Structure 1
Amino acid sequence: MFPLKTSVFTSHVPVVTWLIIASNALIFFMEAGLPEESLERISYLFGVVPARFTDPDWAQEVGFPMNGYWPFLTSMFLHGGLLHIVGNMWTLAIFGRNVEDRLGSVNFIIFYLACGILSGIIHALVNPHSTLPAIGASGAIAGVMGAYLMMYPTSRVIVMIPIFIFPFFFDLLAVFYLGYWFLLNFVSGLATLNMTSDVGGIAFWAHVGGFLAGAILLPPFLLLHPKRSPCYPDEGCVEDVWGHRP
Structure 2
Amino acid sequence: MQRLTAAIKHLIIINVIMYFVPQLMGMDLTNIFALHFPKNEHFGIWQYVTHMFMHGGPYHLLFNMYALWAFGTPLEQMWGRNKFIFFYFSAGIGAGLIYTLVNYYQFNSALNILLESGITKNEVFELLDPTKVYKDVNLQTVNALYNTPAVGASGAVYGVLVAFGMAFPNAKLALIFFPVPVAAKYFIPLIIFGDLFFGVTKYSIGNIAHFAHIGGALIGFIIAWYWKKNQFRIN
TM-score interval (norm. to shorter): 0.7 to 0.9
Of 46, 52, 70, the match for 2:33: 46
**Which residue does the alignment assign to 1:237?**
none
Of 160, 174, 177, the match for 2:184: 174
1:148 aligned onto 2:164:
yes
Q: 8 Å contact 1:134–1:203 — kept in the other structure?
A: yes
Q: Distance in 1 between matches of 2:172 and 2:34?
A: 35
Q: 8 Å contact 2:36–2:150 — kept in the other structure?
A: yes
**Which residue does the alignment assign to 2:98?**
122
Deviation at 1:181, TM superposition (A): 0.9
Give the secondary-structure state (helix, strand or coil) at the position aligned to 2:182: strand
Amino acid at match of 1:151: A
Q: 8 Å contact 1:103–1:222 — kept in the other structure?
A: no
User: Cα gap change, 1:127/1:200 in structure 2, threshold over 3 Å: closer, same or farther?
Assistant: farther
**Which runs of structure 2 are paired with 1:29-68 in the superposition (5 Å)?**
29-35=20-26, 38-39=27-28, 42-50=29-37, 53=38, 55=39, 59=41, 64=42
**Which residue does the alignment assign to 1:80?**
56
Q: Distance in 2 between matches of 1:209 and 1:133?
A: 16
Structure number with higher strand proportion: 1
Amino acid at match of 1:219: W
Q: 8 Å contact 2:67–2:157 — kept in the other structure?
A: yes
Q: Structure 1 length as normaliser, TM-score?
A: 0.70
**Which residue does the alignment assign to 1:135?**
151
Q: 8 Å contact 2:155–2:215 — kept in the other structure?
A: yes
Give the secondary-structure state (helix, strand or coil) at the position aligned to 2:201: helix
**Which residue does the alignment assign to 1:19?**
10
1:106-136 Cα deviation digits (max 9, x unpaired): 1000110010000000111101242211010
Give the secondary-structure state (helix, strand or coil) at the position aligned to 1:134: coil
Aligned residues: 195
**Which runs of structure 2 are paired with 1:226-237 in the superposition (5 Å)?**
none
Aligned Cα root-mean-square deviation (Å): 2.9
Give the secondary-structure state (helix, strand or coil) at the position aligned to 2:208: coil
Q: Distance in 2 between matches of 1:143 and 1:123?
A: 14
Give the secondary-structure state (helix, strand or coil) at the position aligned to 1:127: helix
Deviation at 1:13, TM superposition (A): 5.3
**Which runs of structure 2 are paired with 1:170-209 in the superposition (5 Å)?**
170-191=180-201, 201-209=207-215
Structure number with higher helix proportion: 2
Amino acid at match of 1:181: I
The unaligned stretches of length 5 or more in structure 2 are 108-144
Q: Distance in 1 between matches of 2:188 and 2:11?
A: 22
Q: Distance in 2 between matches of 1:157 and 1:94?
A: 11
Q: Distance in 1 between matches of 2:201 and 2:175?
A: 27
Q: Structure 2 length as normaliser, TM-score?
A: 0.73
